[in-house]
């Protein structure tokens, strides 16, 4: 049985209004698919706890209709294939694929073959966007456990409905603040006087130290000292993907991606020196032609002189809030997981967390 989400429990992050699904898929056309790869018994030295998550920017093929995008690297101990294209052209022309660090090459190769099967010309030219976090604490990453069929399954299973969270897809083997983490998502809908635009966020958590964990400003992590701590480097990583239907240009989307880092900080992240925070933002407002045709664009005017700056500020706030909430949703959804060599990540203790939040007046029943 799936665990409830943060809002179901009375945890309300920020002041903004979520979309109907409180998910990245509240942005029309965005689709998410997962493939979980779980093999071997708990404690087996070759147990696999990994997977792939695919995020499509719209309901078509993005190599035929790219969208504007921006990227920001909060700390760069990690990889993002496709970053140069996004930085140089300001466009996203493939699904975004999330996976385990040492599987990034296999997932990239498999995505190229999958795209070529749909469009030979695209397969020859498109460099898929693939990024990663390290799940080696729970998973035998050297066994190369993901293959073409797994990547295809993530791409082909993508839907526009509710998004599975926690220990699913790329999140199967990931942690969060020395607890079990994984996939989380959330959204915000701007007020009508700020355009009524939607901002959706999906995170892949693998970051944070237990004592730093904040939930809605409450120092929850400090009260969970009795749960076992995983061995090894605690800096970790986090991928944040931000989608919006606001008509933003690449430089504005880069600024949106930066704000996702503030959402991580509000949850207790400090982007340690061996962490990898890869932050990507894209807009679904305009599908770009691929043959050089002129296209009529809408745009949010920015600059201190422009009234439209208030729209950007509202988008920034929505991004920060949705990112913070998405991390909490990942923790709430995740379940205690045992992986290779008996390595264990404990689930966030929901009852104790709610008691702490209630004591601080942060629950809204």
pLDDT recorded at residue 293: 81
pLDDT recorded at residue 308: 66
Which of the residues 36, 100, 187, 237 is marked catalytic?
237
Structure-token pair, residue 355: 């008691």
pLDDT recorded at residue 307: 67
Strand, coil or helix: 211: helix
Check if 157 is active-site. no
Residue 5 within a domain:
no
What's the CATH code of the domain at 66? Answer: 3.60.70.12
Q: Rounded distance, CA 101 to CA 208, Å? A: 17
For residue 224, give the nearest of 273, 268, 288, 282 by alpha carbon: 268
For residue 158, give the nearest of 284, 34, 26 by alpha carbon: 34
pLDDT recorded at residue 232: 66
Q: Residue 216 gets which letter from DSSP? A: T
Q: Rounded distance, CA 165 to CA 52, Å? A: 13
Residue 140 within a domain:
yes
Q: Can you list the pairs that 143-146 forms with residues at least 24 positions away whose Cβ atoms lie under 8 Å?
A: 143/46, 143/48, 144/103, 144/106, 145/37, 145/39, 145/48, 145/50, 145/103, 146/37, 146/50, 146/51, 146/52, 146/99, 146/100, 146/103, 146/106, 146/107, 146/110
Provide the residue range defining the domain that includes 340.
Answer: 18-356
CB atoms within 10 A of CB 361: 8
User: Is the Cβ–Cβ distance between 38 and 235 less than 8 Å?
Assistant: no
Q: Rounded distance, CA 277 to CA 320, Å? A: 15
Residue 8 within a domain:
no
Residue 199 within a domain:
yes
Structure-token pair, residue 28: 């029309």
Residue 363 within a domain:
no
Residue 3 within a domain:
no
Check if 237 is active-site. yes
CB atoms within 10 A of CB 344: 17
Domain total of the chain: 1
pLDDT recorded at residue 123: 84
Residue 6 within a domain:
no
pLDDT recorded at residue 291: 80
Q: Rounded distance, CA 290 to CA 326, Å? A: 34
Residue 117 within a domain:
yes
Stretches in the chain below the pLDDT threshold 50: 1
Q: Is 195 left (phi over 0), alpha (psi -120 to 50) or beta?
A: left
Q: Rounded distance, CA 27 to CA 305, Å? A: 29
Strand, coil or helix: 129: strand
Q: Rounded distance, CA 119 to CA 126, Å? A: 10
Helix (H) or strand (E) holding 243: strand 236-244
Q: Rounded distance, CA 120 to CA 113, Å? A: 9
Structure-token pair, residue 232: 């090894």
Which of the residues 36, 275, 283, 346 is marked catalytic?
275
Q: Residue 22 gets which letter from DSSP? A: S
Helix (H) or strand (E) holding 361: none
Which of the residues 93, 132, 165, 277 is marked catalytic?
277
């Amino acid at each position: 049985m799936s665990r409830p989400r943060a809002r179901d429990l009375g945890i309300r992050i920020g002041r903004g209004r979520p979309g109907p699904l409180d998910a990245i898929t509240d942005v029309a056309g965005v689709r998410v698919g997962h493939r979980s790869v779980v093999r071997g018994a708990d404690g087996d030295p070759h147990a696999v706890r990994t997977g792939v998550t695919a995020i499509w920017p719209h309901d078509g093929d993005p190599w035929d209709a790219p969208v504007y995008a921006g990227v920001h690297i909060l700390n760069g101990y990690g990889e993002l294939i496709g970053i140069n294209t996004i930085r140089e052209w300001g466009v996203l022309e493939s699904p975004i694929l999330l996976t385990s660090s040492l599987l990034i090459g296999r997932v990239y190769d498999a995505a190229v073959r999958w795209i070529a099967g749909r469009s030979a010309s695209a397969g020859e030219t498109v460099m898929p966007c693939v990024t990663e976090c390290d799940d080696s604490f729970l998973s035998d990453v050297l066994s190369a456990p993901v293959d073409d069929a797994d990547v295809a399954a993530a791409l082909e299973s993508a839907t526009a409905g509710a998004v599975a969270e926690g220990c699913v897809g790329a999140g199967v083997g990931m942690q969060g603040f020395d607890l079990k983490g994984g996939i989380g998502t959330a959204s915000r809908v701007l007020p009508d006087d700020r355009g009524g635009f939607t901002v959706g966020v999906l995170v892949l958590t693998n970051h944070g130290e237990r004592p730093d964990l904040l939930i809605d400003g409450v120092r929850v992590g400090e009260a969970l000292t009795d749960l076992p701590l995983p061995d090894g480097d605690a800096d970790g990583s986090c991928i944040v993907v931000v989608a919006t239907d606001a008509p933003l240009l690449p430089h504005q989307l880069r600024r949106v991606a930066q704000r996702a880092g503030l959402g991580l900080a509000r949850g207790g992240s400090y982007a340690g020196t061996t962490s990898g925070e890869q932050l990507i933002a894209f807009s679904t407002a305009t599908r770009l032609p691929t043959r050089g045709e002129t296209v009529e664009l809408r745009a949010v005017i920015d600059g201190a002189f422009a009234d439209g700056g208030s729209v950007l500020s509202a988008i920034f706030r929505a991004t920060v809030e949705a990112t913070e909430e998405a991390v909490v949703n990942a923790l709430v959804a995740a379940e205690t997981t045992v992986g290779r060599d008996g390595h264990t990540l404990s689930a966030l203790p929901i009852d104790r967390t709610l008691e702490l939040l209630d004591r601080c007046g942060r629950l809204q029943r």
